[in-house]
Amino acid sequence: MLHASSLSKGFVGGLPIFHSIQYMGAVDVPIGADAGPDRLLAACRDTRPRSIVGMPNFLIHLAQIAPDIIGMSARDLGCECLVVGGEPGGGTPAIRQRLEETWGATACEMMGGTDFGVIYWAECHEQRGMHMVVPDHIRVESIEPGTGAAITTRPGAVGELVYTALERQASPVRRFCSGDHVEMLDDRCGCGRTGPVVRCFGRTDDMLIVRGVNLFPSAIQDVIGRMRPRTSGVVRVLADFAGHSTQRNLTILVERGEQASPDDDEVLQREIERRVRDALVVKMESVIVPVGFFETPGAKKVALTLREMPELPAGTRRDPAYAGRGEA
């Protein structure tokens, strides 16, 4: 297994994952995202790992640059499975599809944290959602954000995960709010496991409230990702207001596709705004920027939210209906 998560600064995707892989009897190739994409791709070419662990946006970036760095397509490197986590995306349909297409491998998601251990949730080969894999160590509940009311684990239920440590002795925590918002997909799986099968769709600290509508940037990312190749799939949400709530329309910055023409930006803007409104029931202005405008993914998690408008390229089109950040 090629280690493409950060190995520095105590990140849970680093040494804890390294030790977990070794404990299972697999061989971890400890390159790490901190070494940079060139070394990671060279190691992938030389060792031809069956699996890669890393953050989803970074693995997409590695696949994109593989032909230029090592002269090979990521699909030709022999990887069979991508294990992704550390940021939203692994459960986002558009991101998952892109991962599997660019690598020619299946993508499975995992989720955890440093508060109780390493990984609490992991996806099996059925790829229908994540299973709770440490029930002997952690009790999990689902609550309604804001009220704290318990939510049953019936399929279709949506809530925030709350954990209680069962065997941790150094710093046991009771009913710890994780900030992870999930949908309960099922209560059993074809792999034989029982218990909740979940998909995480966002975190409390990422959530924006736009005119009373709860909105996760990862949901916008999924809509934009489905518009490839007219867009690159890269989007950032401008939240230039205090806190997480606003009564104004949002602005999103979207990279146009590599082969798309700037002459088509106006049509693309209208299509983006229509799709976002239809899917998420919010109005927003879209601003089209060139492909590669945003920093490429690396060892750090990708932040989908911006608090300040970046300096836009000369000639960038803005919709006059939104002048002054109005309520159009």
Q: Which helix (H) or strand (E) holds 220?
A: helix 217-225
Across the range 143-153, mean pLDDT stands at: 85
- Architecture of the domain spanning 129-203: Roll (2.30)
How many CB atoms neighbour CB 194 within 10 A? 10
Return d(Cα 92, Cα 200) in angstroms, integer. Answer: 9
In the chain, % of residues over pLDDT 70:
96
Secondary structure (3-state) at 221: helix
- What is the distance, to the nearest Å, from the Cα of residue 69 to the centroid of all Cα atoms in its chain? 25
Single out the residue of 223, 216, 213 nearest to residue 201, CA to CA. 216
Return d(Cα 215, Cα 158) in angstroms, integer. Answer: 14
Q: What kind of fold does domain 208-322 have according to CATH?
A: GMP Synthetase; Chain A, domain 3 (3.30.300)
At 303, the pLDDT band (50, 70, 90 cuts) reads confident
Residue 326: what pLDDT? 44
Residue 220: what pLDDT? 94
When the candidates are 3.40.50.980, 3.90.1200.10, 3.30.230.20, 3.30.2130.10, the CATH number that belongs to 1-112 is: 3.40.50.980
Return d(Cα 206, Cα 197) in angstroms, integer. Answer: 23
Across the range 156-179, mean pLDDT stands at: 89
Pairing verdict, β 208-210 and 158-165: unpaired
Q: Is the pLDDT of residue 140 over 90?
A: yes
Across the range 199-217, mean pLDDT stands at: 88
Return d(Cα 27, Cα 311) in angstroms, integer. Answer: 45
Tokens encoding 129: 């959602």
- What is the distance, to the nearest Å, from the Cα of residue 141 to the centroid of all Cα atoms in its chain? 23
Q: Which of 96-105, 170-179, 317-326 has the lowest mean pLDDT?
A: 317-326
> Does the fold of domain 208-322 match that of domain 129-203?
no
Q: Is the pLDDT of residue 328 over 60?
A: no
Return d(Cα 100, Cα 75) in angstroms, integer. Answer: 9
Across the range 293-319, mean pLDDT stands at: 86
Return d(Cα 183, Cα 17) in angstroms, integer. Answer: 25
Provide the mean pLDDT of the chain.
90
Q: How many CA atoms lie within 13 A of 249 on its CB side?
A: 20
Q: Which of 15-29, 143-157, 254-268 has the lowest mean pLDDT?
A: 143-157
Residue 192: what pLDDT? 94
Q: How many residues does the chain have?
A: 328
Q: Is the pLDDT of residue 175 over 70?
A: yes
- Whose tokens are 């190995």? That residue is 7
Q: Taking the model in full, what pTM does it have? A: 0.87
Pairing verdict, β 130-132 and 194-203: antiparallel
Q: Is the pLDDT of residue 323 over 80?
A: no
User: Which string of DSSP letters, residue by residue, matches 124-183?
Assistant: -TT-S-EEE--TTTEEEEEE-TTT--B----TT-EEEEEEEESS--SS--SSEEEEEEEE
Q: Is the pLDDT of residue 153 over 80?
A: no
Return d(Cα 146, Cα 134) in angstroms, integer. Answer: 27
CB 103 within 8 A of CB 231: no
List, in sequence order, every residue forming a beta bridge with 182; answer none if it has no partner. Answer: 159, 200
Across the range 34-45, mean pLDDT stands at: 95
Residue 86: what pLDDT? 86
CB-based burial, 273-298: b 16+ in 10 Å, e otherwise: bebbeeebebbbbbbbbeeebbeebb
Q: Is the pLDDT of residue 158 over 70?
A: yes
Q: Is the pLDDT of residue 324 over 60?
A: no
User: Pick the residue with more confidence: 255 or 249?
Assistant: 255
Structure confidence by residue, pLDDT tens digits, 49-86: 999 999 999 999 999 999 999 999 999 999 999 999 98
Q: Where are the domains of the chain?
A: 1-112, 129-203, 208-322
Structure confidence by residue, pLDDT tens digits, 84-134: 998 888 888 999 999 999 999 999 999 988 888 789 999 999 999 999 999
∠ Cα 119 122 123 (to 5°): 165
Residue 272: what pLDDT? 96
Single out the residue of 259, 266, 248, 215 nearest to residue 325, CA to CA. 248
